[in-house]
């Protein structure tokens, strides 16, 4: 959750080290665009990312030591003065930063040598002291060695990849290598690289031949053509990786990674963002400057997942869905291969100022690359906004509202943002005379605090506070004095999971504490109860002397915690549903409590509040649900699937072709089974139809055909949702036992 955007004396911002992995894992989008700097009131970024604002007239110097030191000093000063509960930068803290940074630079332990680790060891317990002194010495010592080892590793790689590669021996490869020792000799390093290459080739081979049809029991070898293609793919990917690792802005990127590693050990949501990184800003506002595409990731490839209606790419007709991005023009206008780049880095390259040009090289699978030249323009993303549908069951109509993120009002005119859009969807459902409503906040990682409060006003009578914010010295309640355009008083159920976080937890907690809704979902929600402020950092220049402002980037700083109206914090514990369907719905999704540096939970004394009187039989609804869930084998099957996936994923991978195939197909089969088990049998599909305004003539409503297709695809997916089916049963019981 992020608080007021502070712009005093050109301050600071950040992107957590986990963002690229989380975006991919959670299915969130990497938006190619740029938004003008926001003037924010309060907004919540319970999303584990952050906003970066940069003054257009500020300069970003080369990555000199003095510039790095100044950034460190400014960052640590902000943390010391403003952080809600700064931890001591002691030897324990230092050791964690030391270990985590080295593992992020070299996760496979294939670059650094054991002798390098010995060289780095004197810094292991004093990094905190260095940071307090504004020193980047440890970073620069490590980077100098890293640069050297990258060049050496590239030569080792070229030597191995140019020779025949066999897959007959019975050796294994540990995928998660962070706890393994670093190589102690050139020979051992070469052996590690042989394993890395063989694993990469076999993995790509099996992804290209997912059925294993060319690797039969009779044919223990590999198909020569597919093997050659896989080796070529790995060769190209790593060649680009080595090049991008040390060229251009590489040192700046590695420094940002170092500083972000350091601050995230103070708490997982405090983060540093280099000047040009704006991923969170685009995500939270849904409005930006770019070409209007949504990026997806398949293996190591980034591709065009969706072309957004009305954007430059859409209007040009030159960019196609499923186009693989081969290269993007850099700041010099030269096409730069993107293999080995982080997804957020590619998205940042595609963004730019309105009206500027951008060149991309893209290719449909199996076709030759083509170069496309586009002009950046404003794009307002409408794809992942609030939407609704109507579930028809036994003659009753139930409303369903899905909200993926508490996004801001992009035009700031009161006619946008998550709170307004949800109200409009509820109005649509009311016009269709639904008997009850389900609000689905699964995988909603948070967002705008004003929109959370506004959304509460759609379902609650006026309240002085639906949540409280507390910093070191003050406590303030966030509420509303009057309802908005819509006030719905009917039966309500909220569906959550372990990725329901922050702003979503505020809404869920308020609905639960005021007895307004039944909460259904996993054992608990994510458990993020802290609030962050986005700060600009830099140094003011002197225009009269021709001295420009210097931009240090920005940081996202944990300044406050938020509390339920009961005085209990959602930190760590999250919101515990009234009805638990299953412990976990997702594969390996961490909760707040899984992060070492997460702040502790606590409770405070707050003014009394008055819950609403239940107009339904709460005990009846819960008891019925618990009985149904205990008799439903689907949830136990899904739990076993998740356990099996976790166990198989941890096993060392064989580098023997036939054994690797067996392991790969076994894991693929259980993943496929997991996806299937999350769907209802065909004879139990829910009957769902689109929700349309009854007060607007159909001929006045002309959605883009592709949007209509996406909407229908979304509805088709909902109809198979095993969790939604039980949530529908809960809502039916609420209606049945209601006094309405």
Which pLDDT tens digit goes with each residue over 142-151?
999 999 999 9
Tokens 């801001």 belong to residue = 408
* CB-based contact 573:97 (threshold 8 Å): no
Mean pLDDT in residue range 201-216: 72
Alpha-carbon gap, residue 202 to 95, rounded angstroms: 36
Q: At the topology level of CATH, where does 387-736 sit?
A: 2-enoyl-CoA Hydratase; Chain A, domain 1 (3.90.226)
- Could you give phi then psi for residue 278, rounded to 5 degrees? -130, 25
Listed in sequence order, the residues at least 6 apart from 724 whose beta carbon sits closer than 8 Å to its beta carbon are 400, 438, 440, 495, 686, 718
* CB-based contact 507:531 (threshold 8 Å): no
Q: DSSP state, 549?
A: P
pTM for the full predicted model: 0.84
* 25-72 residue pLDDT tens: 322 333 333 222 222 333 333 333 323 333 334 554 556 899 999 999
- Ranked by mean pLDDT, which of 290-294, 502-506, 700-704 comes out on top? 502-506
Alpha-carbon gap, residue 525 to 516, rounded angstroms: 18
Closest CA to 412 of 369, 380, 373, 458: 380
Mean pLDDT in residue range 194-211: 87
User: If you compute the radius of gyration of the chain from its CA atoms, what whole number of angstroms results?
Assistant: 26
Q: Within 13 Å and on the Cβ side, how many CA atoms surround 37? A: 19
Listed in sequence order, the residues at least 6 apart from 553 whose beta carbon sits closer than 8 Å to its beta carbon are 12, 13, 14, 52, 54, 71, 256, 272, 273, 274, 275, 277, 537, 538
Structure tokens at 706: 């592709």
Cβ atoms < 10 Å from Cβ of 639: 14
Q: Do domains 287-380 and 387-736 have the same CATH topology?
A: no
**Domains of the chain by residue range:** 90-264, 287-380, 387-736
Alpha-carbon gap, residue 143 to 158, rounded angstroms: 22
- DSSP SS3 for 526: coil
Closest CA to 575 of 477, 493, 506: 506
Q: DSSP state, 560?
A: E
Alpha-carbon gap, residue 296 to 632, rounded angstroms: 35
Q: What is the structure's pLDDT at 17?
A: 34
Q: What is the structure's pLDDT at 51?
A: 30
Name residue 484's beta-bridge partners.
Answer: none
Give me the CATH code for the 287-380 domain, please: 2.30.42.10
* 218-252 residue pLDDT tens: 445 688 999 999 999 899 889 988 988 988 778 98
Alpha-carbon gap, residue 93 to 164, rounded angstroms: 46
* CB-based contact 562:504 (threshold 8 Å): no
Structure tokens at 654: 């064989």
What average pLDDT does the structure give for the chain? 85
pLDDT band for 345, please (50, 70, 90 cuts): confident
Handedness of CA 448, 691, 292, 310 (dihedral sign): negative
* 412-451 residue pLDDT tens: 777 889 999 999 999 999 999 999 999 999 999 999 899 9
């Amino acid at each position: 959750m992020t608080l007021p955007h502070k712009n005093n004396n050109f301050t600071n911002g950040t992107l957590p080290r986990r963002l690229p992995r989380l975006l991919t894992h959670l299915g969130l989008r990497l938006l190619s665009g740029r938004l003008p700097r926001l003037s924010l009131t309060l907004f919540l970024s319970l999303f584990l990312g952050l906003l970066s604002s940069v003054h257009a007239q500020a300069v970003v110097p080369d990555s000199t030591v003095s510039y790095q030191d100044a950034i460190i000093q400014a960052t640590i000063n902000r943390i010391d003065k403003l952080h809600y509960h700064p931890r001591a930068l002691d030897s324990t803290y230092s050791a964690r930063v030391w270990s985590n940074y080295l593992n992020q630079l070299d996760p496979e332990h294939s670059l650094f040598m054991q002798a390098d680790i010995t060289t780095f060891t004197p810094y292991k317990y004093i990094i905190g002291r260095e940071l307090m002194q504004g020193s980047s010495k440890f970073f620069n010592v490590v980077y100098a060695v890293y640069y050297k080892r990258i060049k050496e590793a590239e030569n080792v790689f070229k030597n191995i990849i140019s020779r025949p590669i066999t897959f007959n021996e019975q050796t294994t490869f540990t995928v998660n290598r962070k706890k393994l020792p670093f190589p102690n000799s050139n020979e051992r390093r070469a052996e590690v690289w042989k394993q890395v290459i063989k694993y990469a080739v076999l993995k790509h081979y099996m992804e290209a031949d997912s059925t294993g049809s060319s690797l039969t029991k009779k044919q223990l070898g590999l198909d020569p053509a597919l093997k050659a293609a896989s080796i070529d793919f790995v060769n190209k990917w790593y060649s680009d990786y080595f090049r991008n690792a040390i060229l251009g802005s590489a040192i700046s990127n590695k420094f940002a990674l170092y500083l972000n590693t350091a601050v995230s050990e103070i708490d997982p949501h405090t983060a540093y963002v280099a000047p040009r990184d704006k991923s969170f800003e685009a995500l939270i506002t849904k409005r930006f400057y770019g070409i209007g595409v949504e990026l997806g990731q398949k293996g190591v490839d980034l591709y065009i997942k969706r072309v957004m209606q009305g954007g430059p790419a859409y209007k040009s007709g030159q960019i196609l869905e499923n186009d693989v991005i081969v290269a993007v023009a850099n700041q010099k206008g030269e096409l730069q291969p993107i293999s080995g780049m982080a997804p957020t880095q590619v998205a940042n390259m595609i963004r730019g100022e309105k009206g500027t040009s951008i060149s991309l090289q893209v290719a449909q699978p199996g076709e030759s690359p083509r170069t496309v030249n586009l002009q950046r323009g404003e794009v307002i993303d409408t794809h992942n906004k609030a939407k609704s549908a109507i579930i028809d069951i036994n003659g009753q109509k139930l409303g369903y509202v899905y909200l993926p993120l508490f996004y801001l009002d992009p035009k700031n005119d009161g006619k946008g943002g998550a709170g307004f859009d949800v109200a409009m969807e509820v109005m649509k459902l009311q016009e269709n005379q639904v008997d009850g409503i389900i609000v689905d906040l699964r995988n909603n990682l948070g967002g705008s605090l004003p929109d959370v409060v506004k959304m509460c006003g759609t379902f609650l009578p006026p309240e002085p506070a639906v949540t409280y914010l507390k910093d070191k010295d003050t406590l303030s309640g966030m509420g509303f004095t009057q309802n908005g355009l819509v006030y719905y008083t009917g039966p309500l159920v909220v569906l959550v999971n372990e990725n329901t976080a922050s702003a979503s937890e505020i809404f869920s907690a308020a609905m639960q504490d005021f007895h307004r809704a039944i909460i259904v979902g996993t054992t608990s929600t994510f458990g993020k109860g802290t609030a962050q402020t986005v700060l600009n950092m830099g140094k003011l220049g002197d225009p009269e002397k021709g001295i420009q402002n210097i931009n240090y980037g920005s940081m996202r700083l944990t300044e406050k915690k938020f509390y339920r109206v009961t005085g209990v914090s959602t930190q760590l514990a999250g919101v515990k549903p009234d009805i638990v369907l299953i412990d976990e719905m997702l594969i390996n999704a961490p909760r707040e409590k899984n992060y070492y540096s997460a702040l502790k939970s606590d409770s405070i004394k707050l003014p009394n509040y008055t819950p609403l009187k239940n107009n339904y039989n709460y005990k009846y609804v819960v008891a019925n649900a618990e009985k149904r869930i205990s008799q439903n084998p689907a949830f136990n099957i899904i739990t076993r699937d998740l356990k099996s996936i976790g166990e198989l994923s941890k096993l060392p991978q064989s580098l023997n072709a036939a054994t690797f195939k067996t392991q790969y197909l076994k894991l693929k089969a259980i993943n496929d089974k997991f996806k299937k088990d999350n769907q209802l049998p065909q004879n139990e599909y829910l009957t769902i139809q689109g929700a349309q305004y009854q007060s607007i003539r159909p001929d006045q409503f002309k959605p883009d055909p592709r949007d209509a297709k996406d909407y229908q695809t979304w509805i088709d997916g909902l109809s198979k949702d095993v969790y939604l089916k039980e949530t529908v049963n809960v809502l039916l019981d609420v209606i049945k036992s209601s006094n309405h």
